Amino acid sequence: MRSEARWNAAVAKHEAAVRDFLAACEKCPLDEWQRSADGKWSTAAVALHICNAYELGRDAMLRGASMQLVVSKRYAWFLRTFALPLIIATTRFPRAKAPREVRPNVEETKMLTRDAMRGRLLRASREASDAFRNAAGTSSLPRMTHAYFGDLTPYSALRLLTAHTRHHTRSLA
């Protein structure tokens, strides 16, 4: 598949994942938006986590921000080579603690309204998608460091964020 067609397909899947996530958030009754149970995140916290992930991806491409690698480089290579393609294909993630950089802040979560989240997520996801695509067109291909997967190309990072958004959409259902 040509590069342009490949990117168009990835961006279309990304945009559909964001729309589906927002639709799942809309189904949450407002009186349950902030409610968490059994040690799980509230819908607001999940939404903030998704926003944080897109904002970090955008910032990685524009400013070089990245996550702290929490596994060895060798294990990151293994996960990136063998687990990441499976995760992207199935949108199923193994049980793992969310990287520190994208965990929702408790105080920020308490103040997050559904309307504010919608605007923030639409803006951040669009900016991240644009930043990934623009970065892929440069001669010095920037990379985003992921806590578990290590260095990701812009294309892989967008596909991982899409799978991540799909994963959390299912968790809200």
Question: Over the stretch 62-88, which tens digit does the pLDDT of each residue have?
Answer: 998 899 999 999 999 999 999 999 999
Output the pLDDT for position 1.
Answer: 57
Give the residue-averaged pLDDT of 48-63: 96
Confidence grade of residue 138 (pLDDT, cut at 50, 70, 90)? confident
Three-class SS of residue 152?
strand
Q: List, in order, residues 6 or more apart from 118 with CB less than 8 Å away.
A: 22, 25
Give the residue-averaged pLDDT of 139-159: 90
| In the chain, % of residues over pLDDT 70 | 98
Helix (H) or strand (E) holding 151: strand 150-152
Q: What's this model's pTM, rounded to 2 decimal places?
A: 0.95
Report which of 87, 6, 101, 4 is spatially closest to residue 56, judged by C-alpha positions: 101
Output the pLDDT for position 150.
Answer: 96
Three-class SS of residue 150?
strand
Q: Does residue 54 have a pLDDT over 80?
A: yes
| In the chain, % of residues over pLDDT 90 | 87
Helix, strand and coil in the chain, % to nearest 5: 70, 5, 30
Give the residue-averaged pLDDT of 14-32: 97
CB 152 within 8 A of CB 80: yes
